Amino acid sequence: MQERLQKILSQAGIASRREAEKIITAGRVAVNGQVVTELGSKADAESDRITLDGKPIRQESRKRYLLLYKPVGYMTTMKDPEGRPIVTDLLKDVKERVYPVGRLDYNTEGLLLLTNDGALANRLAHPSHEVDKGYLVRIRGQASPSQLKHLQMGVDLEDGMTAPAQVSLVRESDHNCWISITIHEGRYRQVRRMCEAVGLTVVRLKRSRYGFLEIGELKPGQYRELSSTEVERLQQGERK
């Protein structure tokens, strides 16, 4: 069956569909010996010979679904031009090529999904899939009730007003406090920008929940396989 090349690369665990588009336009993919650079080009993964950098691609026979506690100081891209560590460096015993579902920025820690199931990854990452993402945020100083209310109601950022969020004060001390923020959007550095917009300084940011999945007892750098039940719930589109 003919499918778009970026979809074939994604399902083969090569990269996300967006990254696959960049790979194609860079002239790294060939179909039956012919380099293809045009997005939207199609091929049949079963009958056509598809190569990446001259090497045949293959569909991953084993699907992997991993929940990783991403530490601070790791990139969620597949490679970094500055040579910084990437999250897949932590997966020492995973032979399959997996890639992150969504992203956490360099200074953010916490729950990150990785898989080589391209169809599921694309569905989860699509803007229409409004999955709840829960964060614990350490703030320098105190957060006033009005600031928390502002976060809850929505914040006007340079890329538009954010959707209402679930916000609560977790604990506080003389020098800082922890707040819980749950959003369902996936904008770049959204939680940090929301806090900055209402005058709060983020000291630490941790994603503790993704839909019904929680970080649990994992420590930074540790990961586990999702259970078959968890995978089924994701595939069925369960979001909470």
Give residue for tokens 């039956």.
Answer: 32
Fold matches, 2-56 and 133-210: no
Architecture field, domain 133-210:
2-Layer Sandwich (3.30)
In whole angstroms, what is the distance from residue 218 CA to residue 212 CA? 16
**Alpha-carbon dihedral of residues 184, 189, 192, 194, nearest 10 degrees?**
-60
pLDDT at residue 96 in the model: 85
Cβ-contact 31, 48 below 8 angstroms:
yes
pLDDT at residue 85 in the model: 95
Cβ-contact 176, 140 below 8 angstroms:
yes
In whole angstroms, what is the distance from residue 217 CA to residue 96 CA? 25
Compare 8 and 110 and report the one with higher pLDDT. Answer: 110
In this predicted model, what pLDDT tens digit does every residue of 11-50 receive, in sequence order?
777 777 788 899 999 999 999 999 999 998 999 887 889 9
pTM of the prediction? 0.76
For CA atoms 21, 26, 29, 35, the dihedral sign is positive
| Catalytic positions | 105
Class of domain 65-128+213-235: alpha beta
| Average pLDDT over the chain, rounded to an integer | 91
Specify the fold of 2-56.
Answer: 3.10.290
pLDDT at residue 60 in the model: 58
